[in-house]
Amino acid sequence: MTIEQTLLADDVRVRIFKALADGTRLQIIRTLKESGVEMNCGEVGEKCEASKSNASYHFRTLREAGLITVRKEAQTKYIHLNVETFDSYLPGFLSSI
């Protein structure tokens, strides 16, 4: 691995750890993991007891870190875990929560 690749991977790790350093975002990850399927943003927000604007902020942070993906269908946004990111950077993390 070159120095540039190492620095790029470290940048990704920093974004991931910053995204996971919040109780609400951990709860979102746990909720999505336990459901096993994609959920709409409103469902996740309700289960995590987050307001729409607060949940939106947390979803954006998780998406930018590559931990979730968002799919829009008409007016509804659906989110699900990006398991590949967890497997690459945090193997075993999902089974620990």
CATH of the domain at 61: 1.10.10.10
The whole-number pLDDT of residue 8 equals 74
b or e along 30-55 (b: 16 or more beta carbons within 10 Å of the residue's beta carbon)?
ebbbeeeebbebeebbebbebeeeeb
Element holding 76 (H helix, E strand) = strand 76-81
Range of the domain at 92: 3-96
Cα separation, 38 vs 22, in Å, equals 21
Whether the pLDDT of residue 93 is over 70: the answer is yes
Read off the pTM.
0.89
44-68: per-residue pLDDT in tens?
Answer: 999 998 888 999 999 999 999 999 9
The whole-number pLDDT of residue 44 equals 95
Cα separation, 22 vs 29, in Å, equals 11
4-50: per-residue pLDDT in tens?
Answer: 777 778 899 999 999 999 999 999 999 999 999 999 999 999 999 88
Number of structural domains the chain divides into: 1
